[in-house]
Amino acid sequence: MHVQVILDHLGFGPGVIDGRKGASLKKALIGFQTANDIAKTGEIDKATLAALNPYREVRPVVEVTLTEADVAGPFVGRMPKDPAEQARLPGMAYQNPTEKLSERFHTTPAVLVALNGPQAKVAAGAKVKVPGITVADGAYPDTLKPEWRQTLASLSVDAQQPQADHVVVDKSDGVLRVYDDKEKLVAQFPATMGSKHDPLPIGTWKIQGAAYNPPFHYNPKLFWDADNKDEKQLLKPGPNGPVGVVWLDLNKPHYGIHGTPSPETIGRAESHGCIRLTNWDAARLSLMVKPGTEAKFQP
């Protein structure tokens, strides 16, 4: 978990932080090793530990005292699966305070239960153990709307991010890489991309802009797995919406880079052709890119 937390802190996302080895951690390690000219083993070897050592003050687990704001809703309870039922909700909000807290610390409700026990309370005044994700400083650009700045803070996304010259989505490796104007790899995130029904659109595209906390226009004609009885629906904004908290639009109709309501499935499930990241990684990427940033999709 300590290595996962440090890699997340440095922008080499390991997916959800759970203290376990797996494909997402291996990808993150290879990204960090590439950026630091270390042999790309994908393992926590001596050379990698030496390179991570300067960041050892970033702790694997910390204890926080929850505030009223930390556990404030709205919450929707159990999320229905039917788009028509979802459209009737006031918003695609978190289901409960535990889910909200888990996204803030880049983990899952199951990990919070493992760290604190099944009887632990998630309420104002409670002390809970969480992965040692650094709380965002909140110094976001004034050009961003207050609602989006609040979302960034709620996901512990810091205002200071490297600026992308271009991004590369690599299907064979299952990652999105961010490069600066000197071709240096400055960030990397695990991604879900495409399926046999909706393959990743190979080629070079442009990021046209961002929609923050977007609503979702559900059109069953665009989904091969939609029920033939489904009708078009408008789902209100929220982190549990189909595209999560942000949509980075591409100059290819119906394709974009976006968040997800299910961070634990990144790299383990299929998408409808788009590039899906955890909400916190998608939000972080939104601060790195700008309209016109090149996005190369490769096999």
**For all residues of the chain together, what is the average pLDDT?**
93
Least confident of 92-96, 180-184, 226-230: 226-230
Residue-wise pLDDT for 46-99, tens only, equals 999 999 999 999 999 999 999 999 999 999 999 999 999 999 999 999 999 999
3-state secondary structure 184-234: CEEEEEECEECCCCCCCCCEEEEEEEEEECCCEEECHHHCCCCCCCCCCEE
Does the bond joining 131 to the residue before it have cis omega, within 30 degrees of 0? no
Least confident of 156-165, 195-204, 285-294: 195-204
Tracing tokens 């998608």 back to the chain, one arrives at: 282
Token pair of 41 as six digits:
């083993």
Residue-wise pLDDT for 229-253, tens only, equals 777 889 999 999 999 999 999 999 8
- Whether pLDDT at 271 is above 60: no
- Whether pLDDT at 197 is above 90: no
- Whether pLDDT at 37 is above 80: yes
**What residue type is assigned to position 59 of the chain?**
R
Please calculate the CA angle 36-38-40 and round it to the nearest 5 degrees.
115
| Higher pLDDT, residue 226 or 111 | 111
Average pLDDT over residues 144-159: 96
Helix (H, G, I), strand (E, B) or coil at 160: coil
> With bands split at pLDDT 50, 70 and 90, how would you rate the model's confidence at 137?
confident
- Whether pLDDT at 195 is above 90: no
Average pLDDT over residues 1-14: 98
The distance from CA 33 to its chain's CA centroid, rounded to whole angstroms, is 21
> With bands split at pLDDT 50, 70 and 90, how would you rate the model's confidence at 217?
confident
- Whether pLDDT at 227 is above 70: no
Q: How many residues does the chain have?
A: 299
Please calculate the CA angle 233-237-243 and round it to the nearest 5 degrees.
80
Average pLDDT over residues 3-21: 97
- Whether pLDDT at 224 is above 60: no
